[in-house]
Amino acid sequence: MTKTTGAEPLHTRRPSRQGSVEQRSYRPWPLALAALILIVLAIPGALLVAPGFRGPDAPAPAPTAPAWQQAPATLSAPQVLAPLQPAAPVPGQAAVTAQVDPVLKADGGGTFTGMVQDALTGQVLFDRGGAQSRVPASNLKLLTAVAALRTLGPDHRFTTKVVQGPAPGQVVLVGGGDVLLGAAESQPEQVMGHAGLATLAAATVHTLQASGATGEIKVLVDDSLFTGPALNPNWQSGDVEAGEIAPLYPLALNSARFDPAVTTGPRPQDSAMAAAQEFAARLRTAGAGAGLAVAAAVDRSPGASQANAALLAAADSATVAEQVNLMLQVSDNYLAETMGRMAAVATGRPGSNDGATAALAAEVPAAGISPDAMNLVDVCGLAMGNQVSARQFAEAVRAITTGTDTRLRAALDGFPVGGLTGTLDTRYGDATTSGGAGLVRAKTGTLNTVLALSGYVVDADGRLLVFSFLGNGLTPGAAGNKEALDRAATALAGCGCR
């Protein structure tokens, strides 16, 4: 008899072959699939909670600034124009003429003369009637600049003074040649308004207070520094009426303008009295708190102030160099005539129109400029009776740029720059002249039938050239005439004319 246990003997377990296959081949796959799904679902959750375990992310590194924004390790060398080299090639006359001659053509009537020279040697590179005397218009201011710098000096200043009057209670405003006075406080950084009447009045009140002055103050004006006619008889009445010029006095506000920002239209016909009236008004305001009253009326001094009259206050103008540069930049006729008369006074001549033209006539040859056939009837170029040649203007520019009298270098900043400054700021903008923009530096001249351009330029080879082009008898308003001048100067700027 066989012994048994609670379990079935091994030899009696015989599961069917089909059941055995289902257990070994099918059941593991659902488990694997479920595990895979759990893993896939767990990944996003893990990513969400992981930062809480590992802390905040490290900050991203700051982007590197581009080189041009970074502090320099060393200072770079200053970038300046290199000095002109005397070894730079001098253009050939035939080549320069071939460039300039075709473009220097009048639009309608009239003709152009011209002269181009090498600045260092004086060698003539272009000559079309360069010795012919012509009406120069405002190019004449170049000669006025030469005379003023030679006789007065670049650093000279004109002084407007207030002195004790001839009778008690009187003060005298004495004109010393500053016609760029401002009405308000002095502006030391400016040329126009460098000396201000408000500042001068305040200084006068301070001195009067210190001396114990009381009661009413009467203002007189002394404009005796200038003599002769205040208006040049050679100026056309239409130009005076249009405000191109005004009667000349040795003191004025805003170069004899009502408003320094308005440079056309009517002007004060008595700039000395206008300045004195403004001074009296400023003195009245400044003296109100000091117990000083100022009479409403302003009179002229019965004569020149005494040299020993007690000085109450004084104000100095901008330098002659600064004023010359302003005169050239904006072509200020009033300032030019003043400079001529002050040059006359500096050389012992009367402060008149005749004295001014005589001073120019004397200083021109002294500066190395030929005076042959030159005729001067004013010093601003407004009169049609002036006669100067292109050669003489080229020589004047040579004297300023490379001459032996270094005082004349002070005028260089006054030359307008093509397309950028002064009376050339709106020119050199088209395709035929843009090559001269920023390179041509020249004084302009404009009358009804006259156009002129005299200045200097560095050519493509680095050679300094001086030039003068004068047009007379031109058709008024013809646009092509200014273009002809600008094209000629542009041709010189781009010239590698060997």
Q: Are 109 and 473 spatial neighbours (Cβ–Cβ below 8 Å)?
A: yes
Residues 6+ apart with CB under 8 A from 13: none
Q: How far apart are CA 445 and CA 425, in angstroms?
A: 14
Element (H, E) at 215: strand 215-222
Q: Is 271 assigned a catalytic role?
A: no
Q: Is 331 assigned a catalytic role?
A: yes
Q: Give the residue ranges of DSSP H helices in 331-442.
A: 333-346, 353-366, 390-402
Cβ neighbours of residue 35 closer than 8 Å, sequence gap 6 or more: none
Q: How far is CA 156 from CA 177, 324, 342, in A?
A: 11, 11, 11
User: Where are the strands (E) in 165-302, listed by range?
Assistant: 170-174, 215-222, 292-300
- Other CB atoms within 10 Å distance of the CB of residue 434: 14
Burial 226-248 (b: 16+ CB within 10 A, else e): bbeebebeebeeeebeebbbbbb
Residues of the chain by 3-state class (helix, strand, coil), percent to 5 = 35, 20, 45
Instruction: Considering the candidates 133, 141, 389, 443, report the single residue annotated as catalytic.
Output: 141
d(CA 248, CA 271): 8
Using DSSP's 3-state secondary structure scheme, residue 319 falls into: strand
Report d(CA 344, CA 420) in Å as an integer.
34
Neighbours of 446 (CB within 10 A): 16
Residue 160: its H or E element: strand 157-164
Catalytic residue selected from 186, 271, 317, 331:
331
Pairing of strands 215-222, 170-174: parallel
> Residue 243 and residue 318: Cα distance in Å, rounded?
24
- Alpha-helical runs (H) found in 74-170: 93-100, 141-151
Strand 450-458 versus strand 170-174 pairing type: unpaired
Q: Which of 114, 127, 134 is nearest to 449 (CA)?
A: 134
Active site residues: 138, 141, 331
